[in-house]
Chains A and B, each alone.
Chain A
């Protein structure tokens, strides 16, 4: 059974770079039918898509965050990562990683539990 687990610092200072990793277990990240995504949820707010990455490295980013986002994939470790630069208080959120399935008409069918990231000095 495929599982996703987010990891990374829970506290980041303003203007610094937020770095998170999602580890995929129970299956391979190098599967042609899936993309891997990051989604965040600010306290009490809705879901905001950050971006998707394919195992070959192709990326798609939210236009509103594109200038600050970098996603990468490490197939040898079965992991993909998110870097968000120049963070501010508005980037405080729960960050989820998830699998985007071509087979399910591009629905996110498996999610990590989420990790809380607070931006504060």
Chain B
């Protein structure tokens, strides 16, 4: 099975800060990677797919990069509504794995 490791597990940041979350796959997954945002009591929301393609309706301050085993989610200027937990997800050979999540908290 492919394991996904996110870092950090949590980050404290202020409005306007640039925030970066990293996701590492235990083996190469090309660009089969998605990022989600989840707020308490809600279902996850797809932000980015194919490692770097912004889902329709997602603000441009979100961006993704990487391929192979190392991936990054960047929020260029953190907004109040961005405080949430972020998950990466890989799909390889029809098996899906999520990272353990990164909580973005208010500093």
Chain A residues in contact with chain B, CB under 8 A?
37, 39, 46-49, 52, 60, 62-63, 96, 98, 100, 104-109, 111-114
Contact = CB atoms under 8 A, between A and B. Distances in A.
B87 A47 contact: yes
Contact of A47 (B46, B91, B98): B98
Interface residues of B, number: 26
Nearest to A112: B43
Contacts of B49: 104-107, 109
Contacts of B98: 39, 46-49
B101 A108 contact: no
B79 interface: no
B95 interface: yes
Contact of B43 (A48, A96, A100): A96
A89 B98 CA distance: 22
Contact of B91 (A63, A106, A112, A114): A106
B34 A105 contact: yes
A105 B50 contact: yes
